[in-house]
Homo-oligomer: A and B are copies of this chain.
Amino acid sequence: MSIDGQLPPKARLLRAAAELLANSGGSAVSTRQITQLAGVTAPTLYHHFGDKEGLFDAVVAAGFDEYVAGERDFAPSGQPLEDIRRMWDNHVQFGLKQPELYLVMFGNIRPESRPAIVADAEALMEEMLNKAAVSGQLNVPPREAARSILAANVGVTLMLIAEKAPERNLELSAMTRDAMVFAVSTEQARNNGSVDSGESSVVVAAIALNAALQASHSDQLSSSELKLFLEWLHRISNSSTS
């Protein structure tokens, strides 16, 4: 139960810290656990990394290399906005695959102290957004767009990590992602055109659904149930005109 091999103590400490961090299951990781697993004693840790945070920073740096590698891995699709979406998804996947490491990287928030890694991630996204801006696909400055998108990206990832694995719904991510990308893009410029029935009330909704029900899918309900259902819809359309 120790990390051996001919690796020097510094590397063993890094590996031990990363491993414990990955398997800690949410509970804190102590320097004693790390040093024991690495097969060294406490002063060795402090000699090489200064303090616990220094060691974690080093682990994070390695993790960030992996993160960046993932973010750059795919070939640019020629559609910068599509690449942004892939960056987003990659970010979420990274967080879900290594939640403990992710939390050290992005979840260790304290007032007025910004982890360096956030700035790096922002720069990475800004770089990509720059390409979109060059081709006129951005309607806000790349820096602001990057900050905004990354904030939402981190928020969604943290929210997903906090949920129990079987309940995680990636639709949350996709929806938020598309909302953010859409918001900073010039695609929305075309939205001034005609909006069909812009304010759809319950009445309109009920009528539309009513029509849709009769037009198709009617085999999913028995006729009596359908009749009752339509009557119910009718009642709603009349009652809640507020």
Report A's interface with B, CB cutoff 8 A. Answer: 25-26, 99-100, 103, 107, 109-115, 118, 134-137, 140, 144, 147-148, 150-156, 158-159, 161-165, 169, 171-172, 175-176, 178-180, 182-184, 186-202, 204-209, 212-213, 216-217, 220-221, 225, 228-229, 232-233, 235-236, 239-240, 242
Contacts of A191 in B (CB 8 A): 188-189
- State whether A152 and B136 are in contact (beta carbons under 8 Å apart), knowing that A109-B162, A189-B193, A195-B189 are contacts in the complex: no
Copies in the complex: 2
- State whether A172 and B197 are in contact (beta carbons under 8 Å apart), knowing that A103-B111, A109-B107, A209-B236 are contacts in the complex: no
The DSSP consensus for interface residues of chain A is helix
Shortest Cβ distance from A161 into B: residue: B111
Among A187, A205, A225, find the residue whose CB has the most chain B CB atoms closer than 10 A: A205
Whether B144 and A154, one on each chain, are in contact in the complex, defined by CB atoms closer than 8 angstroms, is: no
Contact of A221 among B161, B208, B232 (CB under 8 A): B232
Shortest Cβ distance from A122 into B: residue: B159
Whether A109 and B158, one on each chain, are in contact in the complex, defined by CB atoms closer than 8 angstroms, is: yes
Contacts of A235 in B (CB 8 A): 220
Whether B110 and A163, one on each chain, are in contact in the complex, defined by CB atoms closer than 8 angstroms, is: no
Distance in angstroms between the alpha carbons of A185 and B203 in the assembled complex: 17
